[in-house]
């Protein structure tokens, strides 16, 4: 999917970047005090958004959503934050979207 979206890189270069990133994340989880748990999953599907969730199921939880418009540059990405305090319905929509995608994805073994 990354190669499909980014025509400036080849698959070997992106594969190396991915493996390096996974190695760094694995090292960070081992070095964390207290020990951290990190789970990474992949899916062969390009969602129309990216999400970063901060305690999305807690009362002050938030999800940062960035839309991925078709064939636009990365600089042109509508982005917004949904939270229970001001967008409870939209927060629920994106919680469900995340959970559905997560359930369909495959875990990656970081070891």
The 10s digit of each residue's pLDDT in 10-56 is: 778 888 888 898 889 888 888 888 877 788 888 888 888 889 988 88
Q: pLDDT band at 93, cuts 50/70/90?
A: very high
The backbone torsions φ and ψ at residue 10, rounded to the nearest 5 degrees and listed phi first, read -100, 170
CA dihedral in degrees (19, 22, 23, 27; nearest 10)?
180
Burial class (CB in 10 A: 0-12, 13-18, 19+), 68: middle
- C-alpha 59/C-alpha 56 separation (Å) is 8
Would you list the domain boundaries of the chain?
1-38, 41-111
Among 57, 59, 45, residue whose Cα is nearest residue 101: 45
Give the strand pairing for 106-108 and 40-42.
Answer: antiparallel
- pLDDT score recorded for residue 8: 64
- C-alpha 84/C-alpha 13 separation (Å) is 40
Among 45, 41, 50, 58, residue whose Cα is nearest residue 94: 50
């Amino acid at each position: 999917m990354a190669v499909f979206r980014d025509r400036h890189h080849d698959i070997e270069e992106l594969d190396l970047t991915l493996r390096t990133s996974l190695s760094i994340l694995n090292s960070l989880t081992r070095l964390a005090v207290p020990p951290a748990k990190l789970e990474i999953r992949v899916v062969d599907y390009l969602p129309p958004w990216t999400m970063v969730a901060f305690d999305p199921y807690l009362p002050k939880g938030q999800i940062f959503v960035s839309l991925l418009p078709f064939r636009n540059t990365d600089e042109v990405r509508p982005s917004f934050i949904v939270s229970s305090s001001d967008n409870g319905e939209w927060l629920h929509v994106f919680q469900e979207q995340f959970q559905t995608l997560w359930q369909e994805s495959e875990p990656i073994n970081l070891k």
